[in-house]
Chains A and B, each alone.
Chain A
């Protein structure tokens, strides 16, 4: 009986979580509407995506007394600005920021993109330049700190492919998710076990709005509060961060926010129809990134 009690105590005792270091949170966001309404490639919702995400992260950081910095690259109806200063920007300015970012090892860098993506997954800047996945991921990984990227664009799964050490059993047919189960994961997981690859250094987690062969959607209206005001994926991302859609205001999320709790929340709240057509892809590792 004593032995059983000791075993139960041992199981319960270390369940307490440690404190998160109070280091900086750095938010880098890129959002483009590509001209004015009526323009060929016009997107209505990216500026609203950036605004709401910035509000939510600023609010959480303020309430939790965490130092917060942000760099907002915005093109809204033809007007370009960087953190409110009206000036042009493109691929060069974003890469320069990432290369010269002043951050420490324990800082959290949250990268966000809402805009067009081409068939290679490259982000299309409003000045016509393109930022391809390899260039972005290379500079993001080199920046000091823990990094988390949320990419809401077509073919954005390109930023996640090849970055996983686990398998989640997804099967696609003609671009749509048709099956997802533990049983599907068995054989690919076994094959992956015997594949030699570079050792992983887990400091960058990416969540994309779609696979590398799917489109994402500027809006998706199923009648939910304010759903048509945000990108289809970003709507659920904001809710996962705790943003209140009924009032359109930021709020503190319940419990601890980690990369995989956000992924899990999006998965459990997104409609099945949208999930099958634009299936969010996550870097799959056994290690989770604690955000707040």
Chain B
């Protein structure tokens, strides 16, 4: 039974790649945390660097419109100390729902995401709900430069990520 399922998966995989043209991207971000961090009544901004790997499975593609299911993994470094405090490094994994509009070499879009963030040193977790906007520019038949902007919030406050990355599409052209 297992062999049959595995063989079926292998047989359908190329069809999946051609029909659904999934994409993946790698991005680097500056992350700032501007709310929820207090030293008494002072709000301070802590900046970190983050790297993200994303994969996207298109759910529906019609003309310039594309609806897809994005999955993301983001590593955020610890911040530099300010007033003796620093943001812990974290690993985040999540999914969501994305819409993008493509015309010629340009794509703009946005997504709503839900993810869980794990802080390694504290060994503790936090749920994050957020939104992402992006603008992408085609540089090769299967590759785009993408400029994402994320805003997300959880119990610990709000974080903003701004960065740049490369997005590749598997099967077909962008």
Query: Which residues does A use to contact B, with CB under 8 Å?
Result: 3-4, 7, 10-11, 13-18, 20-21, 105-106, 108, 146, 164-169, 180, 182, 185-186, 189-190, 192-193, 199-203, 258, 260-261, 263-264, 267, 282, 284-290
Given A201-B39, A287-B87: A14 touches B49 (CB 8 Å cut-off): yes
Give Cα A36–Cα B156 distance, bound, in whole angstroms: 47
Considering the complex, give the chain A residue whose CB is closest to the CB of B117.
Answer: A286
Contact A182 B118 (CB under 8 A): yes
Give Cα A167–Cα B156 distance, bound, in whole angstroms: 12
CB-defined contacts of A263 to chain B, threshold 8 Å: 121-122
Given contacts A146-B39, A258-B121, 5 further A-B contacts (CB under 8 A): A18-B80, A108-B84, A164-B124, A193-B126, A288-B86
Give Cα A183–Cα B124 distance, bound, in whole angstroms: 11
A-B contact count (CB 8 A): 141
Contact A15 B124 (CB under 8 A): no
The binding surface of chain A is classed by DSSP as mixed
**Which of A200, A261, A289 has a CB less than 8 Å from the CB of B36?**
A200
CB-defined contacts of A202 to chain B, threshold 8 Å: 37-39, 85
Considering the complex, give the chain A residue whose CB is closest to the CB of B46.
Answer: A287
Give Cα A186–Cα B51 distance, bound, in whole angstroms: 23
Given A165-B155, A199-B36, A203-B39: A290 touches B81 (CB 8 Å cut-off): yes
Give Cα A261–Cα B122 distance, bound, in whole angstroms: 9
Contact A165 B165 (CB under 8 A): no
CB-defined contacts of B155 to chain A, threshold 8 Å: 165-166, 192-193
Considering the complex, give the chain A residue whose CB is closest to the CB of B33.
Answer: A286
Considering the complex, give the chain A residue whose CB is closest to the CB of B90.
Answer: A286
Residues B78-122 near A (CB distance < 8 A):
78, 80-88, 90, 116, 118-119, 121-122
Chain B: how many interface residues by the 8 Å CB criterion? 44
Residues B116-174 near A (CB distance < 8 A):
116, 118-119, 121-127, 129, 145, 154-156, 164-166
CB-defined contacts of A286 to chain B, threshold 8 Å: 33, 87-88, 90, 119, 122, 126, 156
Contact B85 A288 (CB under 8 A): yes
The binding surface of chain B is classed by DSSP as strand
CB-defined contacts of A186 to chain B, threshold 8 Å: 116, 125
Query: Which residues does B use to contact A, with CB under 8 Å?
Result: 26, 28, 33, 36-41, 46-49, 51, 77-78, 80-88, 90, 116, 118-119, 121-127, 129, 145, 154-156, 164-166
CB-defined contacts of B154 to chain A, threshold 8 Å: 193
Cβ-closest 6 pairs across A and B? A166-B124, A185-B125, A193-B127, A201-B38, A260-B121, A168-B124
Contact B28 A167 (CB under 8 A): no
Given A106-B83, A200-B38, A201-B38: A15 touches B49 (CB 8 Å cut-off): yes
CB distance from B66 to the nearest CB of A (A): 24
A-B contact pairs, 19 of them (CB 8 A): A7-B26, A7-B165, A11-B49, A14-B77, A18-B80, A105-B39, A164-B124, A166-B125, A166-B155, A168-B123, A186-B125, A203-B39, A282-B122, A284-B122, A286-B88, A286-B122, A286-B126, A288-B85, A288-B87
CB-defined contacts of A284 to chain B, threshold 8 Å: 122, 124
CB-defined contacts of A180 to chain B, threshold 8 Å: 123
